[in-house]
C-alpha cells in the first residue's frame, strides 16, 4: 500500500552554466540565460533585492491581465530567433515568449534528475510526458528508452523536435504528438497500454488542438485517475507539477494517495524552488508538486 509522507519536501535547482538566478525581490527576479540576462515578474519574491542595481538585456512588463498578459522590452543585440543553451546532453533554444518565459523551465532541472534516478539503469523504459512543451524533459528521459511526448500546441511540439535535432537525438525513440493530453490518456487506458513513468505539468487553464477546454481544478482528478490506470506495481514514478494556483502541495498529494492507494511505493509533496547564485543564496519557490515513486 502506498505510503504518504506528510512533511513537505524542497526540490531545489541551484542553476548551471546555462541558467542562473542572480537576484530577486520586490516582485521581480533577475536571471541569466546563457550570455543574456532578463528581468521577469515573480510575485513570490516578497523580500528586497540584494543587488542595488539590476542590469539586464530584457524585461517582461506585465499587463493588467493576471493570467499572463504583457510585453517584452529587449536590447537590440538579443537574437530574435533565439540562442542555444544546454542541460547535460540536451540542447535547446531559448527565446523570450509572449507568456513571459523563455521556452523552457529551469526550475525543472532537479525533476529531470529525479526521474532519471527512478529509472536507474533501465534502457527499455516506456515513459509519458504530458503537456511536454518544448521537450527538454523528454530528451532527458530518452536515454532510458521510449518516450511519448504529448502537447496541444503544434508550435511547441515543433520546437521540441528541433531541440532533439540540436541535441543529436533525432533518432531516439520519441513519439512527438500534437494532442489533447486528457483525451490521449483516456485512449491509452482503453488500449490497455502501460508506462514505467509519467510526468505531467498541466496549466491552470488551456485549450486543446480542437478547442477542448482545460480547467485545472475540474479536469485534474479525471486525468490523474487515467494516469493511474497506465501504471502498475512494476512502474517507477509519477511526477505532477502545478504552477500559479491557490492550492497546497498537500492537496495534490491527497489526490494522488486516493488514486494510488493499491500500489506499493511512496507519495511525497512539496515545493520546487530555485536558489539564488552563491552558496548562501535565498530560495525562490516556483511551483508545487506531488510525486509517487516505487523502487520495486
pLDDT in tens, 212-245: 777 888 889 999 999 999 999 999 999 999 987 7
Residue 64 is predicted with a pLDDT of: 66
Query: Stretch 29-58: mean pLDDT, rounded?
Result: 96
Q: What are the helix (H) ranges across 11-129?
A: 109-119
Q: What are the helix (H) ranges across 61-203?
A: 109-119, 136-141, 154-166, 181-191
The sign of the dihedral angle between the CA atoms of 248, 252, 255, 258 is: negative
Query: Stretch 250-272: mean pLDDT, rounded?
Result: 96
Q: Is residue 115's pLDDT more than 80?
A: yes
Q: Where are the domains of the chain?
A: 3-16+98-293
- Say how many residues make up the chain: 296
Residue 36 is predicted with a pLDDT of: 98
**Superfamily of chain region 3-16+98-293:** Vaccinia Virus protein VP39 (3.40.50.150)
Residue 68 is predicted with a pLDDT of: 59
Amino acid at each position: 500500500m502506498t505510503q504518504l509522507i506528510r512533511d513537505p519536501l524542497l526540490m531545489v535547482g541551484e542553476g548551471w552554466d546555462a541558467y542562473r538566478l542572480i537576484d530577486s525581490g520586490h516582485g521581480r527576479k533577475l536571471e541569466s540565460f546563457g550570455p543574456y540576462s532578463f528581468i521577469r515578474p515573480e510575485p513570490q519574491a516578497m523580500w528586497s533585492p540584494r543587488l542595488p542595481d539590476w542590469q539586464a538585456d530584457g524585461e517582461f512588463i506585465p499587463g493588467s491581465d493576471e493570467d499572463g498578459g504583457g510585453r517584452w522590452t529587449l536590447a537590440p543585440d538579443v537574437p530574435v530567433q533565439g540562442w542555444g543553451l544546454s542541460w547535460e546532453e540536451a540542447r535547446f533554444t531559448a527565446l523570450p515568449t509572449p507568456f513571459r518565459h523563455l521556452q523552457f523551465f529551469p526550475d525543472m532541472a532537479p525533476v529531470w534528475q529525479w526521474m532519471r534516478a527512478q529509472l536507474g539503469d533501465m534502457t527499455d523504459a516506456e515513459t509519458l510526458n504530458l503537456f511536454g512543451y518544448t521537450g527538454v524533459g523528454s530528451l532527458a528521459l530518452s536515454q532510458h528508452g521510449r518516450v511519448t511526448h504529448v502537447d496541444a500546441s503544434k508550435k511547441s511540439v515543433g520546437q521540441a523536435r528541433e531541440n532533439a535535432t540540436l541535441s543529436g537525438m533525432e533518432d531516439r525513440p520519441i513519439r512527438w504528438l500534437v494532442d489533447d493530453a486528457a483525451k490521449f490518456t483516456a485512449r491509452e487506458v482503453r488500449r490497455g497500454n502501460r508506462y514505467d513513468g509519467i510526468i505531467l505539468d498541466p496549466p491552470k487553464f488551456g485549450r486543446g488542438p480542437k478547442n477542448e477546454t482545460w480547467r485545472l481544478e475540474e479536469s485534474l482528478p479525471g486525468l490523474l485517475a487515467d494516469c493511474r490506470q497506465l501504471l502498475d506495481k512494476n512502474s517507477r514514478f509519477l511526477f505532477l507539477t502545478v504552477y500559479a494556483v491557490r492550492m497546497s502541495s498537500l492537496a495534490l498529494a491527497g489526490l494522488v494517495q486516493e488514486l494510488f492507494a493499491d500500489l506499493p511505493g511512496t507519495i511525497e509533496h512539496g515545493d520546487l524552488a530555485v536558489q539564488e547564485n552563491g552558496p548562501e543564496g535565498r530560495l525562490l519557490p516556483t511551483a508545487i508538486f506531488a510525486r509517487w515513486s516505487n523502487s520495486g
